Amino acid sequence: MTPSARAQAAIEILDQVIAAARDDGSPADALVSAYFKTRRYAGSKDRRAVRELVFRAIRHSAEVPASGRAALLPLVPELFDGEGHGPTAPTPDEPRAEAGIVPGWIAPLLSPLVGEGEWPALTERAPLDLRANIARTARDEMAAHFGAEPAPLSPWGLRLPSDAAASADEAFADGLVEVQDEGSQLIALACAPVDGQTIVDLCAGAGGKALALAAAATEARIIACDTNLARLRNLAPRAERAGATIETRLLDMPREAEGLADLEGQAECVLVDAPCSGSGTWRRNPEGRWRLTPERLDRLEELQRRVLDLAAPLVKPGGTLVYAVCSLLAREGADQAAAFLSRHSGFVPKDIGMDVGRLEGVGRLLTPGHDRTDGFFIARFQAR
């Protein structure tokens, strides 16, 4: 493919990314792969170059661009030459996406800790973090194997360059490491898992945190719950690879409480890794900025309140509830945690037990700019 033809391919994919952001469709990565499934003429260099163009355009623009052309035009105007299969030359008044990091409507909602000086880190490419599976190996052993630096905050973490291909490594296939951002590892650490405990991971998804908990406390009973069957199904092969035993439980919305009734007052720890805006993970999913709307944010906030209220009755007296969101918005983090305490007088705030990130309200905030992790708010509550 010529450089201009690659630009045209990127435009077509960006049109799909914009539509998917509006309609809650497939992520950009999946759209890039699907595009090339039917275009066998494109070689691996073409695919890589087009993917790079697509993601550069997504990172470039905070607001949803008017079209794929508008998204790409400011980046490679020289390729809009109308040659061969390339994009036609632009007209003078054609829309062009403006450079930006935080969408205008989201900026005032960011935690006051995330000043403009930190914004560039929100969309810069993230390193590749691994978690050593300490049930089977030592971090130092994996650091030597990968030639990786130990991650600075998590005792299980390793840090590799963003383009490292760790999941093709035999240590990954053998379950000795998992790909997991250091901030996510800290959430599992905040649960302080201990053998013999019952730990409920209420919003387990594909089990990233549940796997970390299982590695740290191999004799704990870990129950991974979620309302999304497809996500929960992804946990089984990961647990098998890691040699972990994790119970899974599919909850039926809106009757989740029925599916949890037998766990009432049983858990030493309940982790609520709640659905959220994902504003702390824009560096991995920059299109997340195009997907969020005020209405979606309202719905997420309501869901966070709901899962916190489902979690509270499961905690044993003296047990803990850990609340986490990969968000930098105060409404989803510190404000949500404060609202939980005002609804549940049987809980008191408790420090997460690690001197990481910065204090925000009753919890701590980790940010890409300050901590070099994804952005997370983490709070811990203890049942009286």
- Residues with a catalytic annotation lie at 326
| Sign of the four-CA dihedral 334, 335, 340, 346 | positive
169 is in an annotated binding site: no
Is 361 within 8 Å of 333 (Cβ atoms)?
A: yes
Judged by beta carbon, residue 64 or residue 206, the one nearer ligand SAM is 206
Regarding 234 and contact with ligand SAM (CB under 6 A), the answer is no
Nearest distance from C-beta of residue 224 to ligand SAM, angstroms: 8
Which of 231/316 has CB closer to ligand SAM?
A: 231
Instruction: Report the nearest approach of ligand SAM to the CB of residue 296 (Å).
Output: 13
Q: Figure out which of the listed residues 26, 227, 266, 293 binds ligand SAM, where binding follows CB under 6 A.
A: 227
**Token code pair at residue 19:** 């539509």
- Residue 295 Cβ vs ligand SAM, minimum distance, rounded to whole Å: 17
Among 53, 70, 130, 202, binds ligand SAM (CB under 6 A): 202
- Give the ranges where the chain is alpha helix by DSSP (H): 3-23, 28-37, 44-60, 68-72, 119-123, 139-146, 170-173, 182-190, 208-216, 229-233, 235-242, 256-260, 288-291, 294-311, 334-343, 368-371
Rg for the chain, CA atoms, rounded: 22
Q: C-beta of 254: minimal distance to ligand SAM in Å? A: 8
Q: Which of 275, 288, 313, 363: binder of ligand SAM (CB under 6 A)?
A: 275
Count CB-CB contacts under 10 A for residue 312.
17
By CB under 6 A, name the one of 118, 178, 182, 226 that touches ligand SAM: 226
Q: What is the DSSP string of 15-51?
A: HHHHHHHHHT---HHHHHHHHHHT-TT--HHHHHHHH
Interface stretch with ligand SAM, choices 2-10, 145-153, 224-232, 334-342 (CB under 6 A):
224-232
| By the rule CB under 6 A, 157 interacts with ligand SAM | no
- Does 269 bind ligand SAM (CB under 6 A)? Our answer is no
Output DSSP code: residue 87.
P
Residue 314 interacts with ligand SAM (CB under 6 A): yes or no: no
Residue 238 is a binding residue for ligand SAM (CB under 6 A): no
The answer to whether 160 and 130 have CB atoms below 8 angstroms apart is: yes
Cα gap 370→100, rounded to integer Å = 20
Contact 365, 356 (CB under 8 A): no
Q: Does 371 help bind ligand SAM (rule: CB under 6 A)?
A: no
Indicate whether 374 belongs to the interface with ligand SAM (CB under 6 A).
Answer: no
Nearer to ligand SAM, 201 or 371 (CB): 201
Q: Tokens for 153, please give them.
A: 């905050």
Q: Buried b / exposed e across 212-225, counting CB within 10 Å, b at 16+?
A: bbbbbbeebbbbbb
Give the per-residue contact string, 282-311, with ligand SAM (x = CB under 6 A; - = no).
Answer: ---------------------x--xx----
Residue 204 CA, distance from chain mean position: 13
Q: What angle do CA 372, 206, 144 make, to 5 degrees?
A: 50
Candidates 136-144, 168-176, 226-234, 341-349: pick the segment binding ligand SAM (CB under 6 A). 226-234
Question: At CA 268, angle to CA 341 and CA 279, rounded to 5?
Answer: 55
Query: Is 29 one of the annotated binding-site residues?
Result: no
Q: Is 203 in the site for ligand SAM (CB under 6 A)?
A: yes
What does the binding site for ligand SAM look like in residue numbers (CB under 6 A)? 184, 202-206, 208-209, 225-228, 231, 251, 253, 256, 273, 275, 303, 306-307
Give binding residues for S-adenosyl-L-methionine as ranges.
Answer: 226, 273
Give binding residues as ranges.
Answer: 226, 273
